[in-house]
Amino acid sequence: MAFSLVDWNALAPGRATREAWMEWAASSAQDIPAPDVAGEGGPPLPKTPHIPMMAARRMSPGTRLAVEAALALMETRAAIPGAPPVDALVFSSRHGELERTLQIIRNLADGSEISPTDFAMSVHNTAAGLLTITAGAALPATSVAAGIDSFQQALFEVAAFFEAGMQSVLLLDFEGRLPEFYRAQPGDTSGTLPPAPGFEACAVALLLRPGNDCRVTSLPAANPAPDAAGAASPWPQSVRFLRHYLARRNRFTLGGDHRDWLWNCVAS
């Protein structure tokens, strides 16, 4: 599977600018550090100036950052003369709107009324719908959930859009804060849920087109995973990919669930 990365954007607590991400990618640390935890003593979520305030208030943190990252990138590309418009959207998230789902379950359990907003926005394609509405763009979109490998599997959706003739696909990979109720307990090595500490939210936007600048190959999973953090990293695969790419590493491997992913990239 191959493609070219045209442009990117990313948002997380403490990393709201391209410069901040570039600095992080160039840091001397060999391991990818655990993310900053927003809240008391931690950096706040990045601001979302491209989203109307009332709309932003109804969005979960992960969805809000995904929509903001996409809108900002689309605005940047629209200002470039001759830049092709986005043809399609692919969203990926391991947990999606899990916070809303948990709240609905708790309301049902104690007999409380369910919030219409929580009910309407508890589906996995919430972010895709909110982006197209906010952007006023009727774009084809798909949403993927594939566990640890959600980002990697989303790339197959991108490839499918390319096969259908699309020339510019925007991939949005995002996560919100995993509720404590679902966190893996100490000593749990099943890998089914990420360990604490988690993070408030993060989002990575990649504008992709057909090409050969980046090639990815599936390999049998190694133990331990070849990348420093591996599949147990609290950061999603998309963030680990971005760090390698921005650090101009031409060859790297991302740990997955049952497969690892070997990347060969020519950073622009």
Domain boundaries, the chain: 2-211
Distance CA 98, CA 38 (A): 18
The pLDDT of residue 234 is: 67
The answer to whether 219 touches 261, Cβ cutoff 8 Å, is yes
Residue 42, CB-side half-sphere exposure with 13 Å CA sphere: 18
Q: Which of 40, 42, 41 lies closest to 12, judged by CA? A: 42
The answer to whether 239 touches 10, Cβ cutoff 8 Å, is yes
How many other C-beta atoms are found inside a 10 Å radius of the C-beta of residue 192? 11
Predicted confidence band of residue 213 (pLDDT cuts 50, 70, 90) = very high
Distance CA 196, CA 249 (A): 28
pTM greater than the 0.85 cutoff:
yes
What spatial distance separates the first Cα and last Cα of the chain, rounded to whole Å? Answer: 19
Distance CA 242, CA 175 (A): 15
Residue 47, CB-side half-sphere exposure with 13 Å CA sphere: 3
Q: Which residues contact 153 (CB under 8 A, 6 or more apart)?
A: 92, 144, 146
Question: What is each CA distance from 262 to 51, 91, 181, 251, in whole angstroms?
Answer: 36, 22, 34, 7
CATH classification (class only), 2-211? alpha beta
Task: Check whether 202 has a pLDDT greater than 80.
Answer: yes
Lowest mean pLDDT among 4-8, 87-91, 98-102, 238-242: 98-102
Distance CA 52, CA 39 (A): 23
The pLDDT of residue 38 is: 46
Question: What is each CA distance from 39 to 15, 97, 200, 250, in whole angstroms?
Answer: 15, 20, 8, 36
181-200 pLDDT, tens per residue?
A: 877 655 555 555 655 445 68
24-75 pLDDT, tens per residue?
A: 999 865 444 444 444 455 688 999 999 999 999 999 999 999 999 999 999 9
95-144 pLDDT, tens per residue?
A: 899 889 999 999 999 999 999 988 889 999 999 999 999 999 999 999 99
